[in-house]
Each structure stands twice: as structure tokens, then as C-alpha cells.
Structure 1
């Protein structure tokens, strides 16, 4: 018997008992919808977590720290613990590392009008600034000779009125500072600045310390985000690394640069030493591997992926629990299919006997019942999937904002790899539930079946 004939016969048999078939299909619909919606919520939470962490910074970047120059006290030569430009080349030789660059940072004092603030100035390569999302202005370029700044969206919080001493943390109001249209007067030699304010000369013969020179810096761009939207770049001011090195050499000349180590004679080294660096990896899957390699070199390293992995483990547990709840519904639906098929066999015993007497093979009889069970699974899975999409839309419309703390995102996500297999899984569950009833139909005695009333 051809498959098309078997399919037609099976469908006709199902529609003989419309109410029973409807209730059985309804069970599969609820089971399929339950498991798809539950798993989709787990997927939505996982994607939201990834999106949230990526908003804080790159998921393929590793932050490397070498405060106090690592374990220099354990080494005969302290320079062996320094993190320098040569160290960046060593990092780039690690498998899966695409680039590595230092972060030369120091505290400076900036002034504009009546406002003054202590600011963390970061010198990084121009190429590294492409990762900074701007809300206003543009990134500095090599065409400009002067050193230009990219200012974090929360930097203004560090400024206060020089006369009253009150700032954002005292009044709750942002200082009236215009970074884009007005230059910032910057003091690099902060020690000399404070000494000049507190030392006016005295009877002991001490000389008054001259106020350090102020340098005028212009702002090229502002980091995207409101005054309370935190990101990796919110509190820093970023400038071109090479131009900052040149500037510091001009400001301090032969004097030690703040934050830079000195030799036993108290003189600065002829190269820059860094406390922070960023290592970029080619793929998220290799971040933890590279991070461990850097840690084994004696440096402190961390990444967004480190925290994301922990969050993903929690999300996987939630997804498994939600999927298990949905699977119970589908199991109940499978029991309903088995019950429907057994009842169908009892009601069609004589029909099965006639088919056997007419020479119908046992495999054909088995396939007929399996197709019926599979068709129930197919219809239930298809309708259940459609219902899942509708429920998903309602969840995202009315519940997402509450569970995601008002942030943009979807609480329920149904990808193709979940949607298509869900229908196939429903068919498999249906055929599995109908397997034993089909085997029982094969074992019926033809003569006994014909005599059955």
C-alpha cells in the first residue's frame, strides 16, 4: 500500500472521532506551546545577559593589571616585572590574540571657569578608540597636531566649584561645563600645583613653589550615554598615547613622571612602564583561555566573559528548569495520544482483522497507526508553535519591561533552531506514544478480530 493511501486512511480514521482527536491534539498543543515558551524565556534571559554585559564593554577584551609592578620584590631585577611596550608584543604572540595595547593613565587637574576637577587621563592608541561609542563629536585623528580628548559621559561628576567646594555629589546637579565648545585648562604636575597653593614662603627660608603651567586641551568627542549611564569609558578622559608621552616628557623633562617607577638612584627609566593594558581576542570562546595564559605570566587579568560565564551557567540552569516544566506537559500529552490509539484499536478490532485476512502486511497495519499518532503530533506541534509565537509576543509586550528592569530587550525569544525542531519533536513523541498500540494491532489474531463485536 502506498504511503499516500496510508496517510489518507489514517487521517480519515482520525476524523471519524472528531471530539476525541480534538482533545488529544489539544493536549499536544498545550505541551508543545509550554516547552517552547519556557525554553524561549531561558533563551531571552541569556541573550539579555549577553547584551547587558556587552554594553559595559567588549566581550572579547581582557583587562590586564600590573599594579606595584607585579612581583618585583621576588625578582633580582625589578625591571623583569615591568609591563612595557615589549610586553605588549609578548601578549600578541599568545594564540587567538588579535592585538594588545597599553593604557598610560595618570591623575590631572582640569579647570573651566569656576569649576575644577580631578580627572583620570588615559593614553591609548588611536586605533583602540574605535571601540568607544560616541554620543557627540568625533574621534581624534593623526591629522591634528594638538592632543585632543574623548571625554567620558560621567566625568563632569568629578568637578566642583572652586570657590564653594561643592559639586555634583553635594548638590545633585551637574556642573555647568561645556566640554565640546570650550577648552579645558589642564595641569599635569599636580604635586607642584598643591604645593604652590599651600606654600607661600616663610621665615625658615623656604621658597615659594611656582604654580605649574596650564595646558589647554580641546575635546574631540563625548562618550555616548546620559550622566548616570555607566560603561567602561564613562569616568575616563582618553587621548592619543603617543601624544601623551610627548606631552609628559615636555612637562616633566628629567623629573620623574607621576606613576612611573625610578631606579635605585631615583632617576626615571628611559621608557614608559604601564599598570594597565587591554588584550583583544579573536572570539568570545577563547577569552577565558587567553585570560588564564596571561594570569600564568604573573599579571592580574579579568574580562566581561569571566562574569558572563557565571551568568550563563545560571541562565542554563533556569532554562533547563523551565524546559523540564514544559516537558511534563508534553509527557501528559503523549499519554493522551497512547490512550487515544489504544481506544482506536479496541474500536477497530474487526477492521484490523479484515485487513489481515485480505493480505495486508503487518508492517502496513503498524505504519497506519504510527502515521495516525504522528499526524496527531504534527497537528498539535504546528498549532502549538503558532500559539507559542502569540504567547511570546504577549510576554514581550506586557512582561518584558518588568522582568528586565525597564531595559530594552525581549524576555521571550524563539529562534529558528527551536521553532522547527519543536514540531519534529512533537511528531516523534506522537509516534513513540503510538508505537505500543501499533504493535498490539499487529499481534491481533485475524479470526479472533473478525468474530469480535
Structure 2
């Protein structure tokens, strides 16, 4: 018998028993919707967790701190360290970071921050609200100003800052010039500090809530910062840089930290271990993310299991429907066998009926899943995603889940119909024909 003929017979058999078929399909709809919604909640929880950790820094970045106050000269983070770290497998780039504290002044307002010098590839990772990156051929420092730097200002006449309710809206570090004063080598008297006027070329984007890992600092090209510091302090010790036992500065810069950028998230833990084996203190968001992911994987498995129970109950309903269909169509099965219908065709016909029930339930259940998911995101999304620190929808149905849900529903239907189909194959033709 041709496949198309079997398909038509299967559909007609289901249409003859509309109420029973509809109730069975409804069970599959509820089961499919349950498992899809539960899994989508687990996916949303996991992705929100990743987004939360990513907001605090790149997930492929490893940060190596200097801590040179307690280290020997051999352990300092210097250019030779950068070269050594770059040779580790899966390391894409190594970026030295140099920081120096500064005081800032704009009109009657004064503040403080620290300038962070970093290579061009790191500056390119900073999200900008306006402006552009420093000119590659700039002869002087150009600043990317953090969007929260103005919060560190205060009114020099009243001594009040934002913490006292002072209105700092007049502090504009991107459109108005401001003075930069580097730390003194002596007592730190601000009145004797030399004032420098450097242009601000961009403002950091803080996003919807204003938070950014780059928000409270000022960023510039590291090579220009080195040149400026040498020009200011000459042969004198640079504040923040170590000195030898005689109090003399070294003829090289010691970096505050080094960023090691890995080619893929999967290799971060491996590279971090290689760095710690060298004796350096290394930190990455991945080490905390992996622990959080283990918890979210457990939650996702539990949620998926709860949804699977509903689909299992639906499978029992399909098996019951198919068994009842066999009892009602015993004579029909006997006639088919007497006429020479192959046993495999009889089995295929019942499996196709069960699979078609699963398909209809899967498609309708998927549609219901999208509706329930949208309702969850609309009414509960903000509060639930806030618990994980993420900013997106808490229920997420990716394309692969949609396709898998329908395929899974069809397979469950066919598995549920397998036993009834085998029973139909074993019926005796003569006994089936005599059956009333």
C-alpha cells in the first residue's frame, strides 16, 4: 500500500472520532506547552545570568593584578610579562593597564578620578554614548570620560557634593573644558598642583540604568599616558609606581594590571590555570559564571522534568486512544489482512495516526507556549530578571526549542502508539472478521 494511501486512511480514521481525537490532542497540547515553557524559563534564567556577569566585564577576559607592594621586583607586571603571557595557547591578545590618580576642576566644581591608560584594542571595547575614540596620531592625551565621573565632583565653595544633594548638572566633562591635576610628589597640596587642559573626545555609554564597568574612570592611550607622566615627573618617582631600596624610580613602568583576552569562553578556565601556575593572581568572571551555570543547569533540568511529566500523561492518553481504536476496528483490520495488506502497512497506519496526533498537539502546544511566554515576560519578566541581574526576558524560546518540541511530540506520539500497532499486527484475520 502506498504511503499516501496510508496517510489518507489515518487522517480519515481520526476524523471519524473527532471528540476522542480532540481530547487526546488537547492532552498533547498541554504537555507540549508545559515542557516548552518550563525549558524556556530555564534558558531565560541561564542567559540572564550570563548577561549579568557580562555586564561586569568581558567573559573572555582574565584580569591579572599587580599587587607589587608585597612582591619582589621579579614579580612586577612589566613589558616582559606581557610578552610571556602572549605565548600561552588560546590567548588572543594581552593588554597592559596603567593607572594614575588625578584631581579635576571645572569652574567652582572640583572632583577626582583616575586615568586608565590602555592599548587601542581595549579602548575600542568601551561603549560610547557620544564622541569618538582618541585620534591614533594624537600628540597629546585625549580622554574618554566615564559617564559617572561627575558624581565624584563637589562645589568648592560650599563643600557639598552629590551625596549632600548638590546639583551637579552643570558639570559637563564632554562639552566643556576641565583642568587635570596630577598628584604631587610631596604633601599633595592641591593649590600647588600644575593644571593641564586635555580634550575629552568621548563619553562612556551607561545604558538605560546608567551603570557601566567603565563609568567611574577616565580612559586614554597608554603610550601617550607614559609619555605624559615622564614629562611631568622627569627623573622623580611617579606616584603609584614602585621604587628601589634607595627610593629611586625604575627606568620602566610597572603596570597596575594586565588584561588577557582569550579566543573563546571555553578556554578561559584553561588559560587562567596556566597563568596562576606561573605565580600570578588571575581573576575572570568565568570562574563565578561556571558555578552559577551549574545551579541554573540543575534548575533547568528540574523545570524540564516537571514539563515532561505532563507530556508523559499525554502519551498515556495517546496509547489509550489507539487501543480503543483497535478494539473498535478489529473487523476492519481482519479484512485488510485477508485482502493481503502487509503487516508492516497495518503497523505504519496506526503509527501514523499516533504521530499525527502528536504533530497536531505539538504545533498547537507550541503556539500556546509562545502566548504563555509572552504573558510571563510582560507581567513577571521585570521582577524575575531583576533577581538574576539580567535585563532581558525571563522566558526565551529559541528556534531550536520550537523545532525540537514538535519533533519530540511526534516521537512521543509514535512511541505511545507502538504497542497498539504491534497488537493490531498480531490479530488473527479469521477471528477479527468474526468479531462483532
TM-score greater than 0.5 by the shorter chain: yes
Distance 1:156 1:299 in 2: 34
User: What TM-score do you get using the length of structure 2 for normalisation?
Assistant: 0.93
How many equivalent residue pairs? 434
Distance 1:451 1:121 in 2: 95
The correspondence for 1:369, drawn from 337, 347, 350, is 350
The correspondence for 1:425, drawn from 408, 413, 416, is 408
Structure 2 vs 1, CA of residues 189 and 382 (structure 1 numbering), >3 Å: closer, same or farther?
Answer: closer
Q: Show the counterpart of 1:446.
A: 429
Deviations 1:329-378 (A, max 9, x none): 10000000010011111111122222222222322222221111111111
Q: Show the counterpart of 1:13.
A: 13
User: What TM-score do you get using the length of structure 1 for normalisation?
Assistant: 0.90
Deviations 1:253-295 (A, max 9, x none): 1111112111222211110011211111112222222122212
**Structure 2: where are the runs of 5+ without partners?**
none
Q: Show the counterpart of 1:117.
A: 111
The correspondence for 2:230, drawn from 245, 249, 255, is 249
1:390 aligns with 2:390: no
1:85 aligns with 2:79: yes
1:341 aligns with 2:322: yes
Structure 2 vs 1, CA of residues 408 and 30 (structure 1 numbering), >3 Å: closer, same or farther?
Answer: same
8 Å CA contact retained: 1:183, 1:216: yes
Deviates more, 1:107-116 or 1:334-343: 107-116
> RMSD between aligned alpha carbons?
2.1
Q: Show the counterpart of 1:303.
A: 284
CA offset at residue 195 of structure 1? 4.5
Deviates more, 1:8-17 or 1:306-315: 306-315
CA offset at residue 100 of structure 1? 0.8
Structure 2 vs 1, CA of residues 113 and 192 (structure 1 numbering), >3 Å: closer, same or farther?
Answer: farther
**Structure 1: where are the runs of 5+ without partners?**
73-77, 198-210
8 Å CA contact retained: 2:160, 2:166: no
Local SS of the residue matching 1:157: helix
Q: Show the counterpart of 1:183.
A: 177
Distance 1:373 1:227 in 2: 50
Within 5 Å, which residues of 2 pair with 1:261-410? 261-405=242-386, 408-410=391-393
CA offset at residue 130 of structure 1? 0.5
CA offset at residue 391 of structure 1? 2.5
CA offset at residue 150 of structure 1? 1.0
